[in-house]
Every structure is written in structure tokens, then in C-alpha cells.
Amino acid sequence: MDVLIKKYGALFSRAYRMDVDDFYSLHDLLKDDLEDSFYGSKRVKQSNFFIPTTIRLSIALRFFAGGDPLDIMINHGVCKPSVYRSVWGVVDCINS
């Protein structure tokens, strides 16, 4: 996540529609639900590719702020299905 903060720099607030401190506050509120949602399933535990919850939340927030999935893929170093899994996983956490 620190790499993304450095990459966006002063534009972080514009790209995510929130400050860095607000991002981490939101992450702290959702952290337990995010871990249960993403890492509680057998399928994810068997995967060799681990995406931290901060990155999952970052992907979802960037998508909600109007980011293009292809741009999000490149900036976060994930595949397209991971973008959509992150978005829906965060939506599920917020709804629960």
C-alpha cells in the first residue's frame, strides 16, 4: 500500500476520494470482516497468490471512485478477476 501512496502522492485524495488517514481508519473498521471474507474460504487458502486486505480495499475504493479496471490491474499488480473479487468482497463486508 505504501507504494501506491507514493505513486499517487498528492493525488491520492483525488484518486480514492479520501485522505490516507481516512483510508486506514476505514481499513481498521473493516479489517476483521475483510480477512474473514477473503481468507476464510478454502479456495483462497489453497492459492499461491496472497493479496493483503489493504490492497483489496484499495482496489475496491479505486473502482468505486471511477477507476478503470484495467488501470487498477496495472497499478495494483493483479489480474482482472481479482479486481472484481475485491470489489464484491468489500461490498459483502460492508453489507454484513
Give the pTM: 0.82
Domain that holds residue 26: 2-95
CA 68/CA 25 separation, integer angstroms? 25
Question: Which residue, among 95, 91, 89, has the nearest Cα to 36 in the 3D structure?
Answer: 89
Q: Predicted confidence band at 2 (pLDDT cuts at 50, 70, 90)?
A: confident
Residue 43 has pLDDT above 70, yes or no: no
The grid coordinates of residue 54 equal 489493504
The domain tally of the chain equals 1
